[in-house]
Amino acid sequence: MITIQQFTFNPYGENTYVLYDETGECVIIDPGMFNGNEQNVFVKWMKESGLKPVLLLNTHCHIDHVLGNKFVFDNWGLKPRFHRGELPVLHAVAGYAPQMGIQYELSPEPEVFLEGTGKVIFGNSELELIFAPGHSPAHLCFYAREDSFLIGGDVLFYNSIGRTDLPGGNHKQLLASIREKLFVLPDNTAVYPGHGGITNIGYEKENNPFLR
């Protein structure tokens, strides 16, 4: 069984997730910690939890989701894994971060890229890859079928959807991704988004104003 620990970091209110199971192995997803205080909070929790980080995953590579990639690499030696189509998005961050007033430490690049389908495995657990572009060109969601939850990044939010006005965004594509990739999951699937609170597939199918 997978346990989820959520942190909310950086000026964008980004949700960073740590997933772990009974083996003590864990996955860090979308590390957003960007200042000393946030880094200290994360390290303190990791030390107290006694977990062993084995994977660093990014749903996509907008600035708020990669601010902690270098920090995770420095502390645990993990290079990020994400879809190859997000590489230009990552490369762009260094150019616009100063304009946003954000101190950005250059993220390492992957040695292993994730595909649009398949699985990542840690401990006794697995996450299925769901390719859901639209908010960004090659956005991935991570689906824990046995535990009925989705780490959704910036695709689907409570009563909302990801923005599509950033480079590589496509509103029509995002709606198609949600309808064809996420809304086919069981209604009781919990959605842990990149911002804001948890929702579920059944609720959003019935109530999301962008998808009626």
Mean pLDDT of residues grouped by 10 in the chain (212 residues)? Answer: 98 98 98 97 98 98 98 98 98 95 95 98 98 98 98 98 95 98 98 98 98 90
**How many Å apart are CA 8 and CA 13, to the nearest integer?**
6
Does residue 96 fall inside a structural domain? Answer: yes
∠ CA(73), CA(74), CA(77), 5° rounding?
A: 50
The CATH code of the domain that includes 169 is 3.60.15.10
Does residue 212 fall inside a structural domain? Answer: no
How many structural domains comprise the chain? 1
> Which helix H or strand E contains 10, and what residues bound it?
none
**How many Å apart are CA 124 and CA 6, to the nearest integer?**
21
Range of the domain at 168: 3-207
- Helices then strands (H, E): number in the chain? 6, 13
**Predicted local confidence at residue 212, as pLDDT:** 85
Does residue 30 fall inside a structural domain? Answer: yes
Does residue 190 fall inside a structural domain? Answer: yes
**How many Å apart are CA 45 and CA 25, to the nearest integer?**
14
Does residue 77 fall inside a structural domain? Answer: yes
**Predicted local confidence at residue 109, as pLDDT:** 98
pTM: 0.97
